[in-house]
Amino acid sequence: MSVTQHADPAVTSPPASGPKQTDGRTAERPLVVRLLARPEVGVFLGAVAVYVFFLIAAPPVRDAGSMANILYQSSTLGIVTIPVALLMIGGEFDLSAGVGVITSALTASMIAYQLSMNVWVGVFVALLVSLGIGFFNGWMVVKTGLPSFLVTLGTFLILQGVNLAVTKLVTGNVATDDISNMDGFNQAKKVFASSFDIGGVQVKITV
Average pLDDT over all residues of the chain = 80
Residue 152 belongs to some domain of the structure: yes
The range of the structural domain enclosing residue 176 comes to: 39-204
Which residues are CB-contacts of 94 (< 8 A; sequence separation ≥ 6)? 83, 84, 87, 137, 148, 152
Phi, psi of 200 (to 5 degrees): 85, 0
Residue 28 belongs to some domain of the structure: no
Q: What is the pLDDT of residue 1?
A: 47
Instruction: Give me the number of domains the chain comprises.
Output: 1
Which residues are CB-contacts of 41 (< 8 A; sequence separation ≥ 6)? 35
Residue 2 belongs to some domain of the structure: no
pTM of the model: 0.65
Is 80 exceeded by the pLDDT of residue 6? no
Distance of CA 65 to the CA centre of its chain: 26
* Residue 38 burial (10 A CB sphere; 0-12, 13-18, 19+): exposed
Please count the residues of the chain. Answer: 207
CA dihedral 12, 13, 18, 20 (to 10 degrees): 0
Residue 26 belongs to some domain of the structure: no
Residue 25 belongs to some domain of the structure: no
C-alpha angle 181-187-192 in degrees, rounded to nearest 5 = 105
Residue 6 belongs to some domain of the structure: no
Residue 10 belongs to some domain of the structure: no
Least confident of 50-64, 70-84, 193-207: 193-207
Q: What is the pLDDT of residue 8?
A: 54
Q: Which tops the pLDDT comparison, 207 or 41?
A: 41
Residue 34 belongs to some domain of the structure: no
